[in-house]
Amino acid sequence: MNNEVKKEETASVRQVAGAVFAAFTGIRKKSAHEADARMIKPHQAIIGGLIGGAVFVLSVLLLVRIVTS
């Protein structure tokens, strides 16, 4: 019997940010998408999406303020 416990790989912050950016832009290889699906946990994707969305909205608001002033 093999008593070794397999440790699940979890995604790093950089991997989650890359996956969220790819989701926003719609550009991703199938192999990369499948790897992300294995490694990124749902709560990581949700938090990353919320942060990414907030950064996007704040960037657009800042750009509009700069252009209109």
Residues 11 and 35 sit within 8 Å (Cβ to Cβ): no
Q: Tokens standing for 4?
A: 């070794």
User: Does the predicted TM-score (pTM) go above 0.85?
Assistant: no
Residue 4: is its pLDDT beyond 80? no
Phi-psi region for residue 50, left (φ > 0), alpha (ψ -120 to 50) or beta? alpha
Angle (deg, nearest 10), helices 13-25 and 30-39: 130
Q: Using one digit for the tens of pLDDT, what is the confidence trace for 34-60? A: 998 899 999 999 999 999 999 999 999
Residues 6+ apart with CB under 8 A from 10: 39, 41, 44
